Amino acid sequence: MTESAEQHPTSHSPRAVTGLILSGGGARAAYQVGVLAAIAELLPEGAANPFPVIVGTSAGAINAVGLACGALSFREAIHSLTRVWKGFQTGQVYRGDFLGVCGQALRFLSHSLLGLGRRQPVALLDSTPLRHLLARELDFSGISAALQARKLRAVAVTAFGYESGQAVTFYQGRATIEPWLRHRRVGTPTRLNLEHLLASSAIPLLFAPVCIQQEYFGDGAVRQQAPISPALHLGANRVLVIGVSGNPTRSDPNEGADTPRSGRPPSLAQMGIHLLNGTFIDSLEGDIEVLQRINYLGKLVPVERRQQEAGLREVEVLLVSPSVPLDEIAAKHRKELPWALRLFLRGPGATRASGAGVLSYLLFERGYCHELIRLGYKDAMNQRAELTRFLGLEEHNL
């Protein structure tokens, strides 16, 4: 039985505990804000946080903690997230000015090729502005307040340990939640802080890793084999997943089979987008498929046996994901990047339409983020009936 179908050992209550899964994807996470804004609108006035368990990875971890910090007032938390994402500029996440780009590139080369400054982690981009932004916008004390008020059961972010090779889920929750240890996956209780968010969102090579308890951590999507599993360990028995790629249940398995081949070697950007997609998207889509298959097989088992075996219990999954490829949207907005970054990315081919997939992760600019938020809102409203049922809302309360 795969880990995706695991329940936390103490999760025997029939009461529904809804988990929210926010995947990684850099600037693509603006889409999640649009979906959450639609959910806030569907909820009745004054409704409490509908997600007792919130789990995030990479940029999704930032959204997850933002929600948890404001869980006492769900709508206000969504408004704060929306305000930040709608006001984004690249310079608020990483340095995009000429001196910043060139200086960081020189540091990266001297560190990687000449071995200078090996004791300090380095990357292609300087993400110091993101640290300042998160420190200014997030009040971590809100997590404890929400836990004490029982408006939140747990919030978790996942990061990847470069020495241990483990995906570590750092979670803050109630004392009854036990840590877990699985193959290359660990759950450890802690008091979440800024370092956990910066570690979880540190895309390999692009952003520098972050040291936590004597080990350097990077983006949690790296080697994350079962992205849904942490929510189940934290007590969720049904999950809403907000993805940042096309819905795998709607995709055509033969898509691309008849696409004409150019015969040209791939650019660095084209290779990079497949690596990024493999890191941020494929594991989540695969985990959803496995979970849906296990749910189907579980229904073939007698009810009495299902009640005895926690791993056989059905885990309801609702997925909301983009109806339009995000790289196509990024291609329309690629000129919004600061000119120094466009120059820096031109050689690898990221500023061409064929390399726009890379930009879809790095384009922290207003026009792009606004369009993703609108798309997320639209896609969620197109699934209004499903969300209404999933969240237990009645139409007359909407």
Confidence at residue 64, expressed as pLDDT on a 0 to 100 scale: 96
Other beta carbons within 10 angstroms of residue 4's beta carbon come to 24
- pLDDT at site 1: 36
Q: Is residue 348 part of a domain?
A: yes
Could you give the CA distance from residue 79 to residue 170 in angstroms, rounded to a whole number? 26
pLDDT given for residue 81 in this prediction: 94
Residue 119 lies in a domain: no
Question: What was the pLDDT predicted at 4?
Answer: 46
Alpha helices (H) along the chain = 30-42, 59-69, 74-86, 98-113, 128-137, 141-148, 194-200, 229-233, 268-280, 282-298, 303-308, 326-332, 339-346, 356-362, 366-382, 384-390
Q: In the block, which residue shows the tokens 């979880």?
A: 200
Question: Which residues, at least 6 apart from 269, have a Cβ–Cβ distance to it below 8 Å?
Answer: 345, 348, 349, 350, 352, 354, 355, 357, 358
Query: Residue written as tokens 């290359």?
Result: 184
- Residue 288: its pLDDT value, please? 65
CA 209 to chain centre: 17
Q: What is the per-residue pLDDT for 396?
A: 40
Instruction: List the chain pLDDT tens, one digit each, 398 residues.
Output: 344 444 443 334 457 899 999 987 888 999 999 999 999 999 988 888 999 999 999 899 999 999 999 999 999 999 999 999 999 888 899 887 778 777 777 777 776 666 666 666 777 888 899 999 999 999 999 999 999 999 999 999 999 999 998 999 999 998 789 999 987 889 999 999 999 999 999 888 788 899 999 999 988 877 766 788 899 999 998 999 998 874 444 445 445 545 555 555 555 545 555 565 555 555 666 666 666 666 655 555 565 555 555 555 677 889 999 999 888 898 888 888 877 777 766 655 545 555 566 778 888 999 999 999 999 999 999 999 999 999 988 644 44
Instruction: In whole angstroms, give the CA distance from residue 393 to residue 398.
Output: 8
Number of domains in the chain: 1
Backbone angles phi, psi at 19, to 5 degrees: -105, 150
User: Within a domain: residue 284?
Assistant: yes
Question: Which residues span the domain enclosing 338?
Answer: 18-91+127-246+267-388
| Residue 174 forms part of a structural domain | yes
| Cα–Cα distance for residue pair 73/80, rounded to 1 Å | 11
Q: How many CB atoms lie within 10 A of CB 246?
A: 18
Can you tell me the distance from the alpha carbon of 223 to that of 158, in angstroms, rounded to the nearest whole number? Answer: 11
**How many Cα atoms within 13 Å fall on the side-chain side of residue 102?**
6
Q: Write the CB contacts of 240 (distance below 8 Å, at least 6 apart in sequence).
A: 18, 19, 20, 21, 51, 318, 320, 390
Cβ proximity of 45 and 381 under 8 Å: no
Give a yes or no: residue 334 inside a domain.
yes
Residue 336 half-sphere exposure toward CB, CA atoms < 13 A = 21
The region, left, alpha or beta by phi > 0 then psi within -120 to 50, assigned to residue 117 is left
* Closest C-alpha to 292, from 268, 318, 310, 269: 318
Q: What is the DSSP letter of 40?
A: H
- In the structure encoding, which two tokens stand for residue 227, read together? 């992205």
CATH number (domain holding residue 364):
3.40.1090
Whether 227 is covered by a domain: the verdict is: yes
Residue 295 inside a domain? The answer is yes
Q: Tell me the residue type at 228.
A: I
Which residue, 63, 54, 53, 51, is CA-closest to 25? 63
Torsion angle (degrees, nearest 10) of CA 59, 64, 70, 75? 90
Question: Is residue 159 one of the residues assigned to a domain?
Answer: yes
Alpha-carbon distance 131 to 1, whole Å? Answer: 40
In angstroms, the Cα distances linking 371 to 63, 85, 169, 242 are 17, 11, 31, 17
For the chain, count helices (H), then strands (E). 16, 10
Catalytic residues: 58, 219
Distance CA 376, CA 248 (A): 17
Of 157, 161, 292, 271, the C-alpha closest to 223 is 161
What are the backbone angles phi and psi of residue 238, rounded to the nearest 5°?
Answer: -155, 145
Q: How far apart are CA 159 and CA 218, in angstroms?
A: 6
